[in-house]
Structure 1
C-alpha cells in the first residue's frame, strides 16, 4: 500500500500484519522516523496547541482539527 502519509512503509506493513489498525500503524511508522527514547524534546504539556496539531497531522491522527489541547496530547501519547 503506497500512502503519502506513511513515512516507513515497511514498518507500517509489519504492524498491520500484527493486527494494528491503519491509524495506529501509520502513527507508529511515522513517529519512529524522528522520535528516539531519551531525546531532548520537551514534554507534550509544554507544547503549544499548534505544535501538537502539527505533530498529530504528521503522524496521521484523524479528527485532530476538532480536538482540544488535552485531547491532542492524549491522542499523541496513545499512538
Structure 2
C-alpha cells in the first residue's frame, strides 16, 4: 500500500497509511486521520481538558472508540490520544 495516494480528502496521509498497515478499514482509517488532523496542524480546537465530556464523547464516537459509553472523561481523553 505504500506509495498509493489515498486522495485529497485525507488530512493526515501518514497516519492514514499507518492505520491501513495495522489492518484498519479505509473508512475507519480516513475517519481517524481526519478527526485528529486539525489538532496536529494547529487548528482552533481547545485542549481536551477544556472540553465537556459530551464534546469528547462526540470525538470518540467519530473515531469509533469501543466502550466509550461507559468511559469517564479522563478515560475518553486517554482513548482518543492513544487510538
TM-score bracket for this pair, using the shorter chain length: 0.5 to 0.7
Instruction: Specify the SS of the correspondent of 2:42.
Output: coil
Q: Distance in 2 between matches of 1:39 and 1:30?
A: 12
- Corresponding pairs, count: 69
Larger of the two Rg values belongs to structure: 2
- 1:40 CA drift (Å): 1.2
- 1:77 CA drift (Å): 1.1
- The gaps in structure 1 that reach 5 residues or longer are 1-6
Query: TM-score w.r.t. structure 1 length?
Result: 0.63
**Which residue in the other structure is 2:71 paired with?**
67
For residues 41 and 26 of structure 1, do their structure 2 counterparts lie closer, same or farther at Cα, with a shift above 3 Å needed? same
Higher RCO, 1 vs 2 (CA within 8 Å, ≥6 residues apart): 1
Query: TM-score w.r.t. structure 2 length?
Result: 0.61
Instruction: Provide the alpha-carbon RMSD of the alignment.
Output: 2.9
